[in-house]
Amino acid sequence: MSFTKITLNQILEAQNKIHEESLDKNDLTDLLNIIDSTIYIQEKINDKSLDVAPILNEIVSDVISVISTALQGHYRLATSGLRNLLEISCSAIFYLDHPIEYKLYRDFDLKADKYVSTLVNEYYFFKTIYIKTFYPNIDTLQKEIDSCSLYLNKTYAKLCDVVHGRYLTLTKTDELKIEYNQIQFSKFKTMLEYTIGSLFLMYTLKFNDFSNQNIMKIVDKTNTLKK
């Protein structure tokens, strides 16, 4: 559907058509597994009575939201939402190790300004030396020194390019249409796996839990750990 004069009903009809095509033309098993795996992580952390449940709720909600947005054809908006998902995922894991900072954030609504790059560069977040505080044998598992923190920074940089509108990340440069696009949907799915891989990687190491096959399938795609 192209734009001339357009009504809200036409927009909704076009989105419904995109949604139907998305469901018809894709096996959504991998996306459902990502949602299930994120809920698994939420439940595992909550079972340990670690006080970050509100953030974990938001993470699960964000995963569902970005997938739903992509299914409706808003591919760039969905991918932009992945940066927020990455930032809040890193925050949740960071606050597990920093209870005072978490209480200040939660009880006094402190500004959420500890971005991924800040956490890595100023707090050594998921650098090898940081991981060794809870996983001493990381050297035997990691492919190279600081591979996990490098992955976080690389993912963050990719998502910042989308949020700030780097030209090659734009999706409507040829023509303005509301329609299903298999290439853009596939790109979103790849970037979702790339992003959620950060959360799954951090959880796996932090809690020494390598038991969930769907989680490990995504962690393997990060190419940070030895198989």
Give the residue extent of every domain in the chain: 8-222
- State how far the Cα of 28 lies from the Cα of 185, in Å rounded to an integer: 11
Q: Are 112 and 91 in contact (CB under 8 A)?
A: yes
- Cβ atoms within 10 Å of 178's Cβ, excluding its own: 19
Q: How confident is the model at residue 172 (pLDDT cuts 50, 70, 90)?
A: confident
41-63 pLDDT tens trace: 999 999 986 789 999 999 999 99
pTM (2 d.p.): 0.93
Please give the pLDDT value at position 1.
Answer: 52
> Which region among 61-75, 85-99, 102-116 has the lowest average model confidence (pLDDT)?
102-116
d(CA 21, CA 35): 21
Q: How confident is the model at residue 227 (pLDDT cuts 50, 70, 90)?
A: confident
The overall average pLDDT reported for the chain is 93
Checking if the pLDDT of 4 tops 70, the result is no
Structure-token pair, residue 157: 């940089």
pLDDT beyond 90 at 65: yes
Neighbouring CB atoms inside 10 A of 40's CB total 18
CA distances for 225 relative to 110, 120, 139, 216, angstroms: 35, 18, 10, 10
